[in-house]
Amino acid sequence: GNPTFSGVSPSVITNDATSITISGGSFVSTPYVDIIKSDTGAILQATSVSYTNATTIVANFTQSVDGTYFIRVENPDAPAWQTASGSLGSFAGNFSGTIATISATGANAYAEVSGTGLTGSGNANCAISNSGVITTSDFGGTGTAGATYTFTIRATNAAGLTADRQFTLASSYGATGGGQFN
C-alpha cells in the first residue's frame, strides 16, 4: 500500500548533512524520499535512504536553502508482467533444454509459489532461474502420459515487492501427427 506518516525527527534541520528518521507505515525497502520546498516547489532528493522496517526509514539530506519543506515518500512499483498468463507451450515428454523465458519489468527473482506443477518430480520436473528461464533435463519426469501442469510464479523486485501470475505447460508422449500407408 501507500506509505503513511506519523512523525519525523528532528523536525528542524540545518544546512549541514542531516539524517531524518521518518515514522509511519507501509514502507518498503527502499522507498524514494524527497523534500519539497513549500513556496517554490523545488524538489531535493535524499542523498541516502536506509530502510529499518515497515514503520521506520532514515533519510539523509543536505539542503542549502532555508524554508519550510514537505517530505514525500514513495514506494517503488511492483514488478509488471510482460509475459501473458496462460500456456507457455506443449513439449514432448522427456524433453531436455530450455522450456521458456518469462519476464516482468523490474523483477530480479522468480519462484514458484503455488500449484507445484512446475518443479519437482511427479510434476513438470523443471527449474526456474532468478532471471526467469525455465529449463528441464527430463520434461514430465516419470510421467508416461500427456499432462497439463498449472503453477503460479512470483516475480520479486529489489524492493521486495511482488507480482504473481499463473501459467501452464503441457506434455505429450507417443506418436503425433499422421501418416498413410499404401
**Contact 46/33 with Cβ under 8 angstroms?**
yes
Residue 157 has a pLDDT of 85
pLDDT tens digits, the chain, 182 residues: what are they? 678 889 999 999 988 999 999 999 988 877 889 999 999 989 999 999 999 998 999 999 998 899 999 999 988 888 889 999 999 999 998 899 999 999 998 899 999 997 668 987 678 999 999 999 999 999 988 878 889 999 999 999 877 788 999 999 999 987 655 556 66
Residue whose cell numbers read 522450456: 99
**Contact 43/36 with Cβ under 8 angstroms?**
yes
Residue 162 has a pLDDT of 86
Residue whose cell numbers read 511492483: 78
Residue 160 has a pLDDT of 78
Comparing CA positions, the residue from 109, 105, 129, 107 lying closest to residue 119 is 129
Reported pTM: 0.61
